[in-house]
């Protein structure tokens, strides 16, 4: 009897574990390079007059999924956009900003290593560009396999993506850099020598298909995450060798042959040669034919991948997201050639293009597809941004997102189930700055100082940003001030990307002291986490009101966490430095500024951060997670006329009307 009971228990545990793994969908994120919102048929091309760019596969994907009509890149250029996408941090917190190409992405939680911890096999194919300086995987500080990817196959350097035939000389390139052969790395091996006549759009797609088939066959119970980053239709505008192979999916389309000199089934004919017949013989320029052909080629590839998922019967357990790193480019890396996104109206109805924080440079073509998880035939105008995908993928993987990140899960929007949390849409790039607040866009194209006003637009009713609303009513005058305050409350200055508003004091909230009382709200949690999780999205085990921040309410010495929240009363404007030391992990946010990050690889030594705070009331959230060591925590401050010391209880405040779990509103006892 005992043996039967034990066997039954083991069977149930095994089945439960298997169900948990099966319930984690495969995730594929497809990123294009410089594809404009208006370049896609269903978004704009199908409605414009004249010769249209054909994207029937993308149109079908969008129809069968959800169109994210107001999805924004973090900056109108590739390096900062890709960094924010990976890390879940907007451009007010990312370590890669402005024109910092090839800068090493920070060693912290990102969408690859979090999914890796959640049991995913993580794959990156195509363009990277966030590796740091060096010339080999051993030298690159942030090589993909050092940032959470189990497997990498692609271009490492940003500039390598400006040539779409890595093993061939391209004599039509406008300079030597764009003409030369490029390195392709497979994990620690450089493999470009075997890639004769391999057009990268085809190459990355064929490798993606092969890996999807291999994963399905060899590891059917293991979910995979694939980040497929095309380097087209970027400005090289090279053409494929031959027509797209007949069919698609497992039995047709692109095929990985794996033979040097014949790596894929389109590695034949003449490089930079094939033009899609949709665009030939119609009086188009050479550059226009190239541009349109490259986009339709991407369209074929996406359709090929989706059909592969269907052929393998894993489509219902797979999420696919399609997007672009920024708006359409204005260059052509061809000798004596020029290009303008106006030829096909690549920005659609919007103003601006790559490099501009107008809608044309920021609003990117984005669809999410997943037959069993994402609503079909939907179009959402909910604003969202690249840093939201990490939280979204964590949600799909069944893990709580790290507390440090700026993004929110978009699963409620994509599934049409539950309430969508309000996210942050924020952009800073060189001297441009954008904030979305109350559904309105605030845009400063030349932020020479913080006094410069935002131009305010309603980008739903006024997509071309033709009607400035700033200053037109008292409501918009108040919104102007709120936008200026908010951009200071959500970012931290970066010494390598200085801004004119770095030295501004962060304003406090407009709260009457009569509405406040002393105390810290403490919520406790039990669980096992690989990082400090976003406790605000979890159900607390208990809640209480304490005098200050300490570990007295800790529910357990291991596998436990605390969230302290409320307001700090800053007595004088100035530089306020917060010092924290803990055995465990901590995250400290003031407003929505990430002030202290003591989570990833935190060594339990003192860490400090200085924040310029104005006199007044400032909200905070302090997260603590236990470790294997004996729990300990210390939070100190110093500032104008205040020596380094524990933060006194009389500056911790709460609203009088706060309601605690199991307590009566307005009658809480201060422990």
pLDDT at 7 over 60: no
| Final residue before a domain boundary, out of 420, 442, 465 | 420
Number of domain units in the chain: 3
So what's the pLDDT on residue 13? 36
Q: Would you state the structure tokens that stand for residue 543, as one six-digit string? A: 């809640």
> What is the H or E stretch that residue 229 is in?
strand 224-229
Q: How confident is the model at residue 280 (pLDDT cuts 50, 70, 90)?
A: very high
* Residue 11 domain-assigned (yes or no): no
The verdict on pTM exceeding 0.85 is yes
Q: How confident is the model at residue 668 (pLDDT cuts 50, 70, 90)?
A: very low
So what's the pLDDT on residue 387? 98
For residue 6, the SS3 value is helix
pLDDT, mean of residues 206-225: 98
Q: How confident is the model at residue 16 (pLDDT cuts 50, 70, 90)?
A: very low
pLDDT at 100 over 50: yes
The overall average pLDDT reported for the chain is 93
Regarding whether 456 and 416 lie in a shared domain, the answer is no
Q: How confident is the model at residue 667 (pLDDT cuts 50, 70, 90)?
A: very low
pLDDT at 670 over 90: no
Regarding whether 526 and 470 lie in a shared domain, the answer is no
pLDDT tens, residue by residue, 589-601: 999 999 999 999 9
Residues ≥6 apart with Cβ < 8 Å to 560:
524, 525, 526, 527, 554, 625, 626
pLDDT, mean of residues 548-566: 93
Q: How many CB atoms lie within 10 A of CB 75?
A: 32
pLDDT, mean of residues 172-178: 84
For residue 317, the SS3 value is helix
Domain that holds residue 482: 431-489
pLDDT at 661 over 90: no
pLDDT at 22 over 60: no
For residue 516, the SS3 value is strand
pLDDT, mean of residues 537-554: 93
Residues ≥6 apart with Cβ < 8 Å to 100:
79, 80, 496, 497
Regarding whether 375 and 299 lie in a shared domain, the answer is yes
pLDDT at 327 over 90: yes
Q: How many CB atoms lie within 10 A of CB 416?
A: 12
So what's the pLDDT on residue 3? 44
Q: Would you state the structure tokens that stand for residue 206, as one six-digit string? A: 């064929």
CA 227, 530, 590, 542 dihedral sign is positive
Alpha-carbon span 447 to 29, nearest angstrom: 33
CATH of the domain at 542: 2.60.120.1560
pLDDT at 171 over 50: yes
pLDDT at 6 over 60: no
Best CA proximity match to 488, nearest among 90, 81, 76, 92: 92
What percent of the chain is helix, strand and coil (3-state, nearest 5)? 25, 25, 50
Task: Determine contact, residues 74/94, Cβ cutoff 8 Å.
Answer: yes
Task: Determine contact, residues 443/465, Cβ cutoff 8 Å.
Answer: yes
Residues above pLDDT 70, as percent of the chain: 95
For residue 443, the SS3 value is strand
pLDDT at 584 over 60: yes
Regarding whether 527 and 451 lie in a shared domain, the answer is no
pLDDT tens, residue by residue, 619-647: 999 999 999 889 999 999 999 999 999 99
Q: How confident is the model at residue 10 (pLDDT cuts 50, 70, 90)?
A: very low
Cis check: omega of the bond before 585, within 30 degrees of 0: no
Task: Determine contact, residues 203/161, Cβ cutoff 8 Å.
Answer: no
So what's the pLDDT on residue 660? 63
pLDDT tens, residue by residue, 23-36: 899 999 999 999 99
So what's the pLDDT on residue 18? 35
pLDDT tens, residue by residue, 130-150: 999 999 999 999 999 999 999
* Residue 670 domain-assigned (yes or no): no
Regarding whether 229 and 364 lie in a shared domain, the answer is yes
| Final residue before a domain boundary, out of 420, 446, 470 | 420
Regarding whether 620 and 485 lie in a shared domain, the answer is no
* Residue 503 domain-assigned (yes or no): no
* Residue 669 domain-assigned (yes or no): no
* Residue 390 domain-assigned (yes or no): yes
Task: Determine contact, residues 184/190, Cβ cutoff 8 Å.
Answer: yes
So what's the pLDDT on residue 552? 85
Q: Would you state the structure tokens that stand for residue 299, as one six-digit string? A: 């369209």
Task: Determine contact, residues 355/76, Cβ cutoff 8 Å.
Answer: yes
Pairing state of beta strands 26-32 and 224-229?
A: parallel
* Residue 671 domain-assigned (yes or no): no
pLDDT, mean of residues 479-498: 97
Regarding whether 452 and 399 lie in a shared domain, the answer is no
pLDDT tens, residue by residue, 440-460: 999 999 999 999 999 999 999
Q: How many CB atoms lie within 10 A of CB 643?
A: 8
Half-sphere exposure for 1 (CA within 13 Å, toward CB): 0
Regarding whether 448 and 591 lie in a shared domain, the answer is no
> What is the H or E stretch that residue 582 is in?
strand 574-583
Regarding whether 354 and 452 lie in a shared domain, the answer is no
């Amino acid at each position: 009897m005992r043996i039967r009971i034990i066997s039954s228990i083991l069977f149930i545990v095994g089945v439960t574990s298997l169900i948990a793994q099966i319930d984690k969908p495969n995730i594929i994120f497809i990123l294009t390079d410089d594809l404009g919102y208006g370049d896609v048929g269903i978004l704009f091309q199908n409605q414009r007059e004249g010769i249209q760019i054909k994207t029937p596969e993308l149109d079908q994907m969008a129809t069968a999924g959800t169109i994210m009509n107001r999805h924004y890149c973090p900056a109108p250029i590739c390096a900062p956009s890709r960094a924010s996408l990976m890390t879940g941090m907007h451009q007010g917190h990312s370590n890669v900003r402005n024109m910092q190409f090839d800068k090493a992405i920070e060693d912290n939680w990102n969408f690859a290593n979090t999914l890796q911890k959640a049991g995913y096999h993580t794959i990156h194919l195509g363009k990277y560009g966030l590796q740091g300086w060096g010339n080999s995987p051993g030298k690159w500080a942030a090589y993909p396999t050092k940032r959470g990817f189990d497997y990498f196959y692609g271009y490492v350097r940003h500039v390598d993506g400006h040539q779409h035939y890595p093993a061939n000389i391209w004599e039509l390139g406008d300079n030597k850099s764009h003409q030369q052969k490029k390195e392709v790395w497979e994990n620690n091996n450089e493999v470009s020598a075997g890639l004769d006549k391999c057009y990268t759009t085809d190459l990355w797609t064929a490798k993606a298909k092969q890996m999807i088939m291999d994963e399905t066959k060899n590891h059917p119970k293991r979910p995979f995450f694939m980040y497929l980053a095309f380097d087209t239709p970027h400005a090289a505008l090279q053409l494929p060798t031959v027509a797209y192979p007949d069919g698609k999916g497992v039995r047709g389309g692109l095929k990985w042959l794996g033979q040097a000199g014949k790596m894929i089934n389109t590695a034949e004919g003449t490089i930079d040669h094939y033009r899609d017949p949709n665009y030939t013989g119609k009086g188009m320029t050479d550059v226009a034919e190239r541009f349109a052909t490259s986009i339709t080629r991407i369209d074929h590839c996406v359709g090929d991948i989706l059909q592969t998922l269907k052929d393998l019967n894993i489509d219902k357990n797979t999420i696919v997201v399609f997007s672009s790193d920024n708006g359409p480019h204005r260059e052509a890396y061809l000798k004596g050639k020029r290009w303008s996104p106006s030829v096909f109206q690549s920005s659609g109805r919007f103003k601006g293009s790559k490099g501009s924080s107008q809608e044309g440079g920021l609003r990117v073509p984005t669809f999410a597809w997943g037959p069993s998880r994402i609503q079909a035939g939907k179009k959402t105008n909910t604003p969202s941004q690249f840093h939201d995908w990490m939280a979204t993928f964590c949600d799909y993987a069944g893990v709580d997102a790290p507390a440090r990140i700026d993004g929110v899960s978009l699963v409620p929007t994509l599934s049409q189930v539950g309430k969508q949390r309000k996210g942050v849409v924020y952009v800073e790039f060189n001297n441009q700055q954008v904030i979305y607040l109350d559904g309105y866009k605030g845009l400063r194209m030349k932020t020479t100082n913080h006094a410069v006003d935002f131009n305010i637009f309603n980008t739903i009713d006024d997509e071309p940003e033709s009607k400035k609303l700033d200053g037109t009513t008292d409501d918009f005058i108040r919104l102007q001030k709120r936008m200026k305050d908010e951009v200071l409350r959500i970012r931290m200055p970066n010494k390598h990307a200085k801004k004119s508003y770095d030295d501004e004091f962060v304003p406090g909230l407009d709260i009457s002291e009569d509405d406040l009382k002393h105390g810290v709200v403490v919520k406790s949690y039990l669980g096992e986490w690989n990082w400090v999780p976003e406790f605000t999205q979890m159900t607390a085990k208990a809640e209480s009101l304490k005098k200050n921040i300490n570990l007295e309410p800790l529910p357990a010495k291991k596998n436990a966490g605390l969230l302290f929240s409320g307001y700090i009363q800053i007595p004088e404007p100035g530089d306020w430095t917060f010092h924290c030391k803990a055995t465990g992990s901590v995250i400290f946010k003031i407003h929505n500024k990430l002030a202290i990050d003591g989570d990833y690889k935190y060594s339990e030594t003192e860490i400090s951060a200085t924040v310029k705070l104005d006199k007044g009331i400032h909200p905070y959230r302090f997260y603590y997670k236990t470790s294997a060591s004996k729990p300990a925590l210390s939070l100190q401050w110093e500032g104008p006329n205040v020596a380094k010391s524990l933060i006194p209880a009389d500056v911790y405040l709460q609203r009088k009307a706060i309601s605690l779990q199991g307590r009566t509103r307005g009658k809480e006892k201060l422990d």
